[in-house]
Structure 1
Amino acid sequence: MDQALNPTAITGYLSGIEQLSGAKFKKWKEQIGIVLGCMDLDYALGEPTPTKPTPESINEQKALYEKWERYNRMSLMIMKGSITHAIRGAILDSDNAMSYIKLVEEQFLGTSKSLASTLMIKMITMKYDGHSDVCEHIMKMSDIASQLKGMDMAIYEVFLFTS
């Protein structure tokens, strides 16, 4: 049996995927890529759908299609299994792993913009009250900046310490 697909390895790989439930799409997509790559199942994500073989097709074409179809099916099962039911219900279904991951990304593009906007407003309006711990205030600001950085929005330290 292929070492990447033994039950213990599969369990280990799958436990490394944090379930997609909020604004962690980027991290989820990265983890999915790593797991599918380690399991050698990322073939369907990197190759376009091959043409369905006909009875006249040569064995090599049939084998290529069967390989792609199996990897595509397994990739979809892993992706869908790592998304909460509430979110999965909001995503259009697809029988193509490459298309499905794009649909998930489209769903989260709007969500992440909304979250980024909320975090920016929170950061801009956050002021030190003069009574609580300064270090705690700085840590809250740094946490928001870190979340924004995770969405490819850099916040410069100058902004953190002048607001």
Structure 2
Amino acid sequence: MLDNQFRLCMLTGDNFADWREKALLTLGCMDLDLAIRVDEPAALTDFSTLEEKAQYERWERSNHLSLMLIKANVSKSIRDSILDNGNVKDYLKAIEDQFVSSEKALESTLMGQLYSLKYSGGKGVREHIMRM
């Protein structure tokens, strides 16, 4: 069983950086990160060797279990907005792209508020500084 510091928390929107770090650590500790570290192997054919078949099966298992673990720890509102093509690496990238754009929009809004904030003289300088 994983220690509390490695327990994967629910991704709710404001904890993306911590969630991503813990998700990758958890998958690594459980030896399920193969699908994240390695690209999907070529599709199996009638001429595939036993080693190629075994490698593909390891990758497929890693991909499937990693995707299940990640989806189970993403809030439903976020999960519904992420396109799932069945590949854990693409799913993580889609989550990251969504949060990078959200963080940039929030940063822009907060910077705009900071630049436009004027001292009104009403409640004192301390109150104005605390609002900033």
Shift of 1:76: 0.4
Structure 2: stretches of 5+ with no match in the other structure:
none
Contact in 1 for aligned 2:11/2:74 (Cα 8 Å): yes
The letter of the residue matching 2:124 is G
Structure 1: stretches of 5+ with no match in the other structure:
1-7, 142-163
Matched, 1:62 2:56: no
TM-score by length of 2: 0.81
Task: Give the corresponding residue for 1:130.
Answer: 124
Give the alignment of 1:100-119 within 5 angstroms.
Answer: 100-119=91-110
Contact in 2 for aligned 1:23/1:108 (Cα 8 Å): no
Shift of 1:44: 0.5
d(CA) in 1 for partners of 2:23, 2:107:
23
Q: Alpha carbon RMSD of aligned pairs, Å?
A: 2.7
Q: 2:17 aligns with which of 1, 26, 30?
A: 26
In structure 2, relative to structure 1, the CA distance for the partners of 1:81 and 1:59 (3 Å cut) is same
Percent of aligned pairs sharing the same letter: 37
In structure 2, relative to structure 1, the CA distance for the partners of 1:53 and 1:77 (3 Å cut) is same
What SS class does the counterpart of residue 105 from structure 2 fall into? helix
Number of positions where the alignment pairs a residue of Structure 1 with one of Structure 2: 129
Shift of 1:66: 0.3
Shift of 1:74: 0.8
Matched, 1:85 2:76: yes
In structure 2, relative to structure 1, the CA distance for the partners of 1:126 and 1:13 (3 Å cut) is farther
TM-score by length of 1: 0.67
Q: 1:98 aligns with which of 79, 85, 89?
A: 89
Shift of 1:27: 2.1
